[in-house]
Amino acid sequence: QVQLVESGGGLVQAGGSLRLSCAVSGRTFSSYAMGWFRQAPGKEREFVSAIRWSGGNTYYADSVKGRFTISRDNAKNTVYLQMNSLKPEDTAVYYCAATSRFSFGPVLVTSNAYDYWGQGTQVTVSS
């Protein structure tokens, strides 16, 4: 059984930064592509970023491109999301997700590509 645990969320002022972490346990982490999604109140879950199992390729939603950076440390079984220049519209619950079915590609922007999800961490950006 694969388990994902997010951490690092919190309250920050607009323009500030946060780094989210997602610790993965249960299987060989390096074989999974990883993604971050978010869900704001009253809205559908949306794609934020994804990274292939080797860490060499990444995807970003247009809304976060240039501000957020995804990375992974396979030795620590952890994926990170560095979030800079945060805006109030970034306020949401952020979820990490893992898949072994796809190594990379446009499919990773869809939630259906992922088999395992964390419980989420709240990010609140005040104006």
Q: Which amino acid is at 4?
A: L
Q: How confident is the model over 63-109, as pLDDT tens digits?
A: 999 999 999 998 899 999 999 999 999 999 999 999 989 888 899 99
pLDDT given at position 61: 97
Return the number of other C-beta atoms located less than 10 Å from residue 99's C-beta.
20
Question: Mean pLDDT across the stretch 38-59?
Answer: 92
Q: How confident is the model over 24-43, as pLDDT tens digits?
A: 987 776 778 999 999 999 99
